[in-house]
Amino acid sequence: MAGTAAFGVGSDGWFTAVQAVEPAAILDASGPVLATLAFVATVLSGGAVLSVAGGRIDDAVDASMANPLVSVVYGLVAFGLVVFLVGYAVSQLSRFGVASGVLATLLLIVLCLLVLSLSGFGFVVVGAWLTTAVGGREPWVGLVAVGLVCATVWLVLPFAVAAVVWLALACLGVGGPTRRWIHADEAEATPG
């Protein structure tokens, strides 16, 4: 029953849902569909982050753009940490027999929300840097610009390459604050 949504009670007594769209269907999506999804995800996740953390963006821009290549590496660390923590939660809950189909689905939703939030923050930082480079810091304009760049990448590049570019842009924006967070104890220990 792939491609349809059906709800019922599974053999374990929990409500189960057959996914309306299989995740593998994204691999088969056309370029315009992927571009639209990338633009919408970038702008919505970045917009949510901007509305919550608007004042912290300036420090994040400075931290990320001080050393962009190192920021990308630390951004990968941030994404890896999120995936590890959610994976660890799943493994611990399943070890205690708590992880049912519903709980696994909820944890997958949490993982997606965390990754989108982290990506949105990264896109906002890169967008703010772009607008600063052309003469003023306008995070909303920069976010839309990064959304257009992401959409273009998904439109013209093969799936794997587009995914790497999309992740690299997000990592660039997230990496600077992550680097500062990881090395915060060293900075506090340094006198004066």
Q: Token pair for residue 110?
A: 């949490």
pLDDT at 146: 92
Instruction: Summarize pLDDT for 45-58 with one digit per residue, the tens.
Output: 999 988 887 678 88
What's the maximum distance between 2 C-alpha atoms anywhere in the chain?
A: 65
pLDDT at 91: 78
Query: pTM here?
Result: 0.78
pLDDT at 191: 57
pLDDT at 25: 62
Instruction: Give the separation between CA 157 and CA 161, rounded to whole angstroms.
Output: 6
Q: How far is CA 31 from the centre of its chain?
A: 20
Q: Determine how many CB atoms are found less than 10 A away from the CB of residue 63.
A: 21
The pLDDT tens digits along the chain (192 residues) read 444 344 444 454 444 444 444 556 666 677 888 889 889 999 999 999 888 876 788 888 888 888 889 999 999 999 999 989 888 887 777 776 665 667 777 878 888 888 888 999 999 999 989 888 888 778 889 999 999 999 999 999 998 899 899 999 999 999 988 888 888 776 555 555
Angle formed at CA 78 by CA 151 and CA 51, multiple of 5 degrees = 60
pLDDT at 99: 57
Instruction: Summarize pLDDT for 61-74 with one digit per residue, the tens.
Output: 888 888 889 999 99
Angle formed at CA 104 by CA 16 and CA 39, multiple of 5 degrees = 95
3-state secondary structure of 182: helix
pLDDT at 132: 86
pLDDT at 62: 85
Which of 114, 153, 139, 171 is closest to 36 using CA atoms?
Answer: 153
pLDDT at 8: 44
The DSSP line for 53-72 is: HGGGHHHHHHHHHHSHHHHH
Query: Is the four-CA dihedral 45, 46, 52, 56 of positive or negative sign?
Result: positive
pLDDT at 171: 92
pLDDT at 31: 80
